Structure 1
Amino acid sequence: MTALVRSLRAAALVGCVLVPAAACGGASGGSEAADTPPPSSRTPAPPADKGPACEGTPTAKGLHVLRGGSQALPGGAGPVLYKEGGSDGTHRTATLTNGTGTGTAQAGTTSWPVRPGQTLAVGGKAFAVSQICTYRVVLTPKDETAVTQSPVPNAVDPGWPSLTDGRLRLRWHVPNTERHGAISAILHDVAADPDRADIVITSRAGGGAGYEDARVGDTLEFAGRLWKLTVIDTGDGNPSMANRNSGYVDLQLIGPSS
C-alpha cells in the first residue's frame, strides 16, 4: 500500500470523527461499517522488529507522540509526527517530523532522527527524548514549566471503549467511535503471510495514531491505555458490514499508558 493511499485514508477517517457518531459508525462498542471500497493489494510485509519494544526511562512523564500520529507540543512548538522507527536488536531509534495534526507529514518537513536520552529542539523549545517504543515516543519539556503528566484514560467518555473480558474487538472497516465522536478506532486493513493489521486512531484533540503492519504480540497505545494485539483474523477479504467473516482483531487491555 502506497504512502499516498495511506494518507488519503487517514484524512478520510479524521473527517469521520468530526461528525456525529451516528453518521460515522454509531456509539461506543457498536458501529456500522464505513462505506469504503475493499483495500488495494498490500505490499510485502516489512521485516519483524528486532526489539526491544522500548528503550529509555519507563516512568518518564511527558508528552506521548504515538506511532503514525501527531501531537501538539507546548508553546506552539508542534505538532510533531512519529513517522517511523526501528531497532538494531539492542537500541531503538525514531524519526520525528513536523506534523499536521492529522497523522500526515507537512510538505517541506524537517526530520529529526532521535534516540533515547537525546535533547530535541523544536520551535525554540527543548525536549528530552525520555523513551522510544515501537508505539510511542515520550518527550519531556526541559524547562519543566509545561505539562509533564502522562495521558489519562479518555476524559470525554471514560467508559470508551466497551470491553468484553478486558478485550476490544475491531471488525474490518467498522469504526468504533466513542459517543461524542471525539475519538475513534478502526481496523483499516488486514493481510496474511504473515498476518498483520493496520489500525488507525483518530482524535479531535490530536494524539491520533497509525499502527501499520501490526502483528500479534505488538503493543498499541490509545485513549490513555496500553493494549496487546492478541488475535488477527484476516477473514474472507470482504469488508462489508453485513459480512460476519470480514476479519477482525482483538486488543487486550494491559493498563494505563504511564
Structure 2
Amino acid sequence: MTARIRPVRAAALAGCMLVLAAGCGGASGGVDASTTPPPRSPAPAPPADKGPECEGAPAAKGLHVLRGGSETLPGGAGAVLYKEGGSDGTHRTATLTNGTGTGTASAGTESWPVRPGQSLTVKGKAFTVSQICTYRVVLTPKDETTVNQSPVPNAVDPRWPDLTDGRLRLRWHVPNTEQHGAISAVLHDVDADPARAYIAVTSRAGGGASYQDARVGDTLEFAGRLWKLTVIDTGDGNPSMANPHSGYVDLQLLGPSA
C-alpha cells in the first residue's frame, strides 16, 4: 500500500476525526439513504507494493510509528510521523517527518528518508530504525530509554473491538468506537479496479494510523494488534449509515503487534 495523502480525503479525515466518538455521519447527520449521491471520481490506483512486507528485526522495546500516524518520542524529542514508504522488491525504505504530537496526522517541515538499521537523531536524541514494514516503523532509543508505549489507552476495554470469529467488519463511513471514545476505527473510502480501502484509526494514547489504498492481503496494525485485510466490498457506492448495501471491509485478527 502507499501513503499518498489525497487532499480531498485528508481534509475530510481531519473533519471526521473531530467527531469520531460522536459517530461521524451518524443517524442524526448521516446521508439520506433515499438520496442518490453524486458520482465519485476515485484517484488512479497506485502500483502494488513490491515487498517484502517487513525488513529488519522486530523490536518489542521500540516505538511503533504506524503508517500515516504520529507518535511522541520518548525523552521529549518531539514527534515523528510515518509519511511514506516503498520497496524495490528486496529492501524497504520509509520517509518520516516531524509530527505534531501523538494521535495527529499532520506532517511537519522536516523529513528523514530512512532504511532498516539506520541511525536517526531527532532533537538531540538518537534512535535506531529497527524495522520498517508497510504498516509501521519501529524506532529504538540508543540510550535504552524505556518506551512506555501503550497501544490501547488505559480507559479502553482490552477486548475492543468486538470480533466475530476473530473478524472485525467496518462499514463505509460507520466508525467503530470504543465506549469511552478513546480509540476509533473507520472505513473512510472504498475504490474498485482494483479494490482498495482507506482505513483510519484515531487514539488518544497513541497508535493512530491512516492506511490508504490498502488491498486484500495487506497487514494493518492498531489497538496493539495485527490484522489481515481479507475482504473489500465496494457496495453500491452509497456510504450512508442507513444503507445496508454500502461497502465494507473485513479484518482478521492475527495477534499481538509485538
Asked if TM exceeds 0.5, the reply is yes
Distance 1:33 1:55, change over 3 A: farther
The code of the aligned residue for 1:103 comes to A
The code of the aligned residue for 2:19 comes to C
* Aligned partner of residue 14 in structure 2, secondary structure: helix
Contact 1:60 1:130 in 2 (8 A): no
Contact 1:25 1:32 in 2 (8 A): no
> Paired residue for 2:12?
9
Distance 1:2 1:222, change over 3 A: closer
> Paired residue for 2:159?
159
Structure 1 residue 35 and structure 2 residue 34: aligned? no
The code of the aligned residue for 1:35 comes to G
| Cα distance in 2 for residues equivalent to 1:212 and 1:32 | 26
> Paired residue for 1:122?
122
Distance 1:184 1:38, change over 3 A: farther
| Cα distance in 2 for residues equivalent to 1:126 and 1:166 | 39
Number of aligned residue pairs: 247
CA displacement at 1:145 relative to structure 2: 2.2
CA displacement at 1:12 relative to structure 2: 1.7
Structure 1 residue 104 and structure 2 residue 99: aligned? no
> CA RMSD for the aligned pairs?
2.2
Distance 1:183 1:158, change over 3 A: same
> Paired residue for 2:34?
none
> Paired residue for 1:179?
179
The code of the aligned residue for 2:122 comes to V
User: After the TM superposition, which of the residue ranges 221-230 and 3-12 deviates more from structure 2?
Assistant: 3-12
Aligned 1:36-185 pairs, distance under 5 A: 40-101=40-101, 102-106=104-108, 109-147=109-147, 151-153=150-152, 155=154, 156-185=156-185
Q: Which runs of 4+ in 1 moved over 3 A?
A: 31-40, 149-155
Distance 1:47 1:92, change over 3 A: same
| Cα distance in 2 for residues equivalent to 1:206 and 1:34 | 28
* Aligned partner of residue 179 in structure 1, secondary structure: coil
Distance 1:110 1:171, change over 3 A: same
* Aligned partner of residue 145 in structure 1, secondary structure: coil
User: After the TM superposition, which of the residue ranges 6-15 and 42-51 deviates more from structure 2?
Assistant: 6-15
> Paired residue for 1:211?
211
| Cα distance in 2 for residues equivalent to 1:185 and 1:172 | 11
* Aligned partner of residue 19 in structure 2, secondary structure: helix
User: After the TM superposition, which of the residue ranges 37-46 and 134-143 deviates more from structure 2?
Assistant: 37-46
| Cα distance in 2 for residues equivalent to 1:236 and 1:137 | 35
Contact 2:79 2:98 in 1 (8 A): yes
Contact 1:82 1:95 in 2 (8 A): yes
Any stretches of 5+ residues in structure 2 without a counterpart?
32-36
The code of the aligned residue for 2:132 comes to I
TM-score normalised to structure 2 length = 0.89
* Aligned partner of residue 7 in structure 1, secondary structure: helix
> Paired residue for 1:189?
189
The code of the aligned residue for 2:105 comes to G
The code of the aligned residue for 2:15 comes to A
Identity value in percent: 75
Any stretches of 5+ residues in structure 1 without a counterpart?
none
